[in-house]
């Protein structure tokens, strides 16, 4: 069976259950923000910074392991 639909902004997927995967995702996005700022692309820097901060919040501050389990119907 297929999984139930998630919200567009939801990052609660079983792939991100291990902490190292969540950390790598945050580092990549914040690294891209730093790269954009270093190239004087402020607009894209702000976009990636906002996305990185959202991931940081969702993956570490508001993390609930139960949200990252496969749902059985």
Distance, in Å, from the CA atom of 21 to the CA atom of 27, rounded to the nearest integer, reads 10
pTM over 0.95: no
State the Rg of the chain over Cα.
14
Instruction: Tell me what the mean pLDDT of segment 40-62 comes to.
Output: 96
Per the model's pLDDT, the better-predicted residue between 27 and 7 turns out to be 27
pLDDT for 49: 98
Interatomic CA distance for residues 47 and 13, integer angstroms: 22
Indicate the SS3 state at residue 30: helix
Query: How high is the pLDDT of residue 68?
Result: 75
Q: Average pLDDT, stretch 8-36? A: 91
User: How many CB atoms are located within 10 Å of the residue 26 CB?
Assistant: 20
Alpha carbons 33 and 35: distance in angstroms, whole number: 5
């Amino acid at each position: 069976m297929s999984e139930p639909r998630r919200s567009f902004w939801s990052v609660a997927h079983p792939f991100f259950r291990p902490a190292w995967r969540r950390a790598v995702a945050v580092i990549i996005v914040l690294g891209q923000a730093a790269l954009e700022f270093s190239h004087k692309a402020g607009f894209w820097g702000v976009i990636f910074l906002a996305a990185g901060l959202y991931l940081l919040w969702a993956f570490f501050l508001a993390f609930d392991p139960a949200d990252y389990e496969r749902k059985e119907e």
